[in-house]
Amino acid sequence: MIRIPCPFCGPRNSTEFAHVGEAGARPDVTTVTRQEWRTYLYVHDNPLGWVNETWFHRAGCRRYLEAERHTGTNQVRWARPIGWRDNEHEPPVNPGAPADSATATADTDPAGGA
């Protein structure tokens, strides 16, 4: 049984998740050639080793997660919300955002802390 450390729900069995696939960029559909599109559709790396892939926690928080898994042992190193940046656990670098700092002012970008 694969255990996936969901950042919202804790470690859960893989039966709660749907495997979405190798994480990869989708070509721009307005400029892609037929060959590129078929390569994107059909050809996969299918490696034996550590892969970054997308899982959907369908019976849990229903969030899409990116996880690093070894395809030989099925060990999962980590899972995090998709699109997560490495520095995101730190406060956003926005000096104007409302924070516990006393220097915050009301007229700065309101989206900064969202």
Partner 1 sequence: MPPSETSVSSEPVPTAGRSTRRGSRPPRYSALDLFRKGLNHADWPRSFHRHDLKRSYDAVIVGAGVHGLACAYYLAANHGITDVAVIDKSYIGGGGSGRNTAIVRSNYLTPEGVRFYDRSVVLYQDLSATLNYNVMFSQRGHLTLAHTDASLRTMSWRAEVNKLQGIDSEVIDAAEVGRIVPRLDVSSHARYPILGALYHPPGGIIRHDAVNWGYARAADHLGVQIHQDTELLGITTASGRVTGVRTSRGDVATPIVVNCTAGWSTLVSDMVGVKMPLITHPLQAAVTEPVKVFLPVVIVSGSLHVYVSQTDRGELVFGASVDPYPSYSMRGSLEFTESLAGHILELIPSIASLKVLRQWAGLCDMTPDYSPIMGVTPVEGFLVDVGWGTYGFKAGPVSGEAMAELVATGKVPPIIANFDLARFADGRLVGEKGAASVGH
* Contact (Cβ atoms closer than 8 angstroms) between residue 76 and residue 67: yes
Least Å distance, CB 80 to partner 1, is 18
Footprint on this chain of partner 1 (rule: CB under 8 A) = 1-2, 13-15, 18-19, 34-35, 38-39, 41-44, 46-48, 71-74
Judged by beta carbon, residue 32 or residue 97, the one nearer partner 1 is 32
Least Å distance, CB 75 to partner 1, is 10
Judged by beta carbon, residue 42 or residue 106, the one nearer partner 1 is 42
- Strands (DSSP E) contained in 17-95 are 18-22, 50-56, 64-70, 76-81
Least Å distance, CB 62 to partner 1, is 17
DSSP string, 45-63: ---SSEEEEEEE-TTTT--
CA dihedral 71, 42, 16, 84 (to 10 degrees): 80
DSSP 101: S
Least Å distance, CB 110 to partner 1, is 41
Judged by beta carbon, residue 41 or residue 93, the one nearer partner 1 is 41
Q: Give the closest residue to 23 by CA, choosing from 9, 6, 4, 44.
A: 44
Judged by beta carbon, residue 43 or residue 93, the one nearer partner 1 is 43
